Amino acid sequence: MPNRFTVHKGFSFFLLGITVMDMKILLKLLLLGLTLVVVFISPSYIGIVAYYMIFPLLFFLVFLYYIVSYWVSEKDVQKVRKEGYALSLFCGKVPPSGDDDLIRGRLVINEDEVKLYQRLQKGRKKQTPCEEVWSLDVSEIRSLGVGKVLGIRKGLILYLDEGSVSFLSGKAVKQKEEIIEALGWDEVPLIPQIVEVSGDASEAPSFTKMDQGEQPKS
């Protein structure tokens, strides 16, 4: 059965014979066409009202393209996941380098694990609309926080023994307490502090003794 894109419960583009890939191509063409109109056509030629109506239409088409390309609902996750979960939120996983694209999907949280489900772009079916692309055992999480994760944009930060994992999500900032509860924590553990010692200081007798488990003499 072909892929289909549903706007709401009562209507599906499948009824028109339009698949998800068809929708993406159609939206790209519409966005390109309307952009060309804005750039090259004079408002006086098509009318001032019609010209300025193009801008909200462009915003709507961009939003629709985003939904078609990235959106993963709770119902999508429930179709591919047998286990229950305490909390979920839509977010974008920030790549470690910060140069690659965000991995957008639905983050699912419970007391044992945290998993990220991403919308399938190819081979998407009604029964398998998304797939697991990342997971982490809660036992590996040392603490969490909310704050700036990509430029000025805020989200969720999970602190590990080495480094951290960040997710862009304004909703996570508002739901910090719910996330703590979903992880099964009574309170947020302290963020681990890593002290790096380099150069001549790392060769000092007091430091080498401490590194070997000995206490320096006072």
Q: Residue 133 is part of a domain; what is its CATH number?
A: 2.30.29.30
pLDDT range class, residue 10, cuts 50, 70, 90: very low
Query: Does residue 200 surpass a pLDDT of 70?
Result: no
Integer Cα distance of 95 and 82 in angstroms: 28
Integer Cα distance of 185 and 188 in angstroms: 7
Does one domain contain both 46 and 110?
Answer: no
Does one domain contain both 42 and 86?
Answer: no
User: Could you tell me the two tokens for 174?
Assistant: 């508002």
Does one domain contain both 54 and 132?
Answer: no
Query: Does residue 136 surpass a pLDDT of 90?
Result: yes
CB atoms within 10 A of CB 60: 10
Does one domain contain both 51 and 88?
Answer: no
Does one domain contain both 61 and 136?
Answer: no
Does one domain contain both 62 and 116?
Answer: no
200 domain-assigned: no
| pTM for the structure as a whole | 0.72
Does one domain contain both 65 and 82?
Answer: no
Q: What mean pLDDT is reported for the chain?
A: 81
Total domains, the chain: 2
Q: Which residue type, as a one-letter code, is found at position 75?
A: K
Does one domain contain both 90 and 172?
Answer: yes
**Which range is least confidently modeled, 30-44, 52-66, 120-134, 186-200?**
186-200
56 domain-assigned: yes
Indicate the pairing of strand 87-93 with strand 130-137.
unpaired
Does one domain contain both 130 and 57?
Answer: no
Question: Of the candidates 44, 70, 96, which is a domain's last residue?
Answer: 70
Does one domain contain both 98 and 59?
Answer: no
DSSP conformation letters of the chain: -----EEETTEEGGGGT--HHHHHHHHHHHHHHHHHHHHHS-HHHH-HHHHHHHHHHHHHHHHHHHHHHH---HHHHHHH--S--SEEEEEEEPPSSS-SPPEEEEEEE-SSEEEEEEE-SSS--SS-SEEEEEEEEGGG--EEEEEEEETTEEEEEEE-SSSEEEEE-HHHHHTHHHHHHHTT-SSPPPPPP-----GGGGGSHHHHHHHTTPPPP-
Q: What is the pLDDT of residue 159?
A: 95
CB 147 within 8 A of CB 121: no
> Higher pLDDT residue, 34 or 13?
34
Q: Taking residues 37-63, what's their average pLDDT?
A: 91
CB atoms within 10 A of CB 5: 19
Domain of 49? 6-70
> Higher pLDDT residue, 29 or 98?
29
Does one domain contain both 50 and 119?
Answer: no
Query: Does residue 156 surpass a pLDDT of 70?
Result: yes
204 domain-assigned: no
Question: Of the candidates 24, 41, 70, which is a domain's last residue?
Answer: 70
Q: Taking residues 118-145, what's their average pLDDT?
A: 88
Q: Taking residues 10-35, what's their average pLDDT?
A: 69
Q: Taking residues 130-151, what's their average pLDDT?
A: 94
